[in-house]
Amino acid sequence: MNLGIRQLETFRLFARTQSVTETARLMRVSQPAVSQTLKELEAQLGFALFVRSNGRTRLTIEANNVLPDVERLFAQMATLRGKAEELKDMRAGALSIASVPSFTARILPTALGAFRAERSQVRLRLEVYTASDVVRQIRQEYCDIGFAFMPLDEAGVAVQPLLRMSMVCLVPVGHPLASKPIITAGDLENETIIVHGAQTTPGFVLRESLRTEVESFQILTTNQSVASLHMVQCGMGIAFAHPLVLPFDPLGQVVAVPYERDVPLTFAMLYSRNRPVSRLVLQFEAILRKSITAFCHELKGKGLTCEVLV
């Protein structure tokens, strides 16, 4: 059986009008064309669609039984057409994101808010992971895009650098070092220093850049930059961290002071190499760029290093 949409559309209109003449008028075809189409459909189905009695036409029992399915099919097609138009205009669809926690304080929520204001029908999903889990989510294509620090070396995962910044010293307000324009290694000799563990990207970069200093410090370690900020807020020490965590300090309990030696960090967007980048992702990236630019401008106003890379 090879039913055609045109055949089913003719049958659907004929069922409503009970008239070949009216069906032909609505479809803007000739009456013989309608009659021929109905005959072809009857041959495909294997039963008659209508009978004539006392000069009137009525549907057969079999035709009445299949009519609800035909109506349902056309309703589904209308839904499909509407969804296709929404996707064409990027009004609908879905965008799933995996991110490290520190990116969820300011830049990412701001961008998501602006994106949703323009594309209110898009289904958004944001999940927060460690950096290694973000990479795994992208590699296994559970999420469309991810956000984490470089360097990353993972087959199947493409990297788009977003911004470059320098690690800073997070100092409690009121601490003698909080008013210094730059902190030196000598300033930290008698301080408790909070750093990322070596298994994290910021921790690895820090140790590669400041191997001698790090080995001489009295150190507390953590695997999350947000945790290091909270430890500073509680007066546990001074943290080497990246500026992305600063929005987690809305009350201004911590001061970010540059360190004498530059420890650069690059933050990036990740996506799968095995599938094309969707139009929704490109649209979101354009909005994200504005959010990143605003954040970098704010950091530079505080005398901190930040560079937009997109």
pLDDT, tens digit, 9 for 90 and up, residues 166-221 = 999 999 999 999 999 999 988 988 899 998 888 888 888 888 877 767 666 778 98
pLDDT of residue 97: 97
Residue whose tokens read 């750093």: 195
Give this prediction's pTM: 0.70
| Per-residue pLDDT at 1 exceeds 70 | no
Using DSSP bridges, classify how beta strands 94-99 and 123-128 pair: parallel, antiparallel or unpaired. Answer: parallel
Which of 87, 116, 133 represents a domain boundary (last residue)? 87
pLDDT of amino acid 89: 54
Q: How far apart are CA 234 and CA 4, in angstroms?
A: 72
Distance of alpha carbon 220 from its chain centroid, rounded?
A: 34
Alpha carbons 93 and 99: distance in angstroms, whole number = 20
Q: Note the pLDDT of residue 27.
A: 82
For the stretch 37-72, pLDDT in tens is: 888 888 888 888 888 877 777 888 888 888 888 888
CB 238 within 8 A of CB 169: yes
Residue showing tokens 């949703």:
116
Residue carrying structure tokens 């999350």: 224
CATH code for position 296: 3.40.190.10
23 pLDDT band (50/70/90 cuts)?
confident
pLDDT in tens, 242-281: 999 999 999 999 999 999 989 999 999 999 988 888 888 9
Least Cα distance to 261 among 184, 170, 181, 179 occurs for: 184
Residues 14 and 158 in one domain: no
Predicted pLDDT of residue 87: 58
Q: Which tens digits make up the pLDDT trace of 98-151?
A: 999 999 999 999 999 999 998 888 899 999 999 999 999 998 889 999 999 998
Shared-domain flag, residues 119 and 62: no
Output the pLDDT for position 154: 77
56 shares its domain with 122: no
- 219 and 277 in a single domain? The answer is no
Residue 9 has what pLDDT? 87
What pLDDT sits at residue 276? 83
- Residues 118 and 251 both lie in one domain: no
Give me the domain span that covers residue 251.
Answer: 168-262
Q: Please tell me whether residues 253 and 210 are part of one structural domain.
A: yes
Cα–Cα dist 174/149, whole Å? 31
What is the number of structural domains in the chain? Answer: 3
Determine the pLDDT at residue 4.
83
For the chain, the average pLDDT equals 88
Model confidence at 92, in pLDDT bands (50, 70, 90)?
low
Give the containing element (helix H, strand E) for 69: helix 61-88
Of the pLDDT bands very low, low, confident and very high (cuts 50, 70, 90), residue 11 is confident
Confidence band for 86, pLDDT divided at 50, 70 and 90: low
Residue 272 sits in the same domain as residue 157: yes
Check whether residue 20 and residue 135 sit in a common domain: no
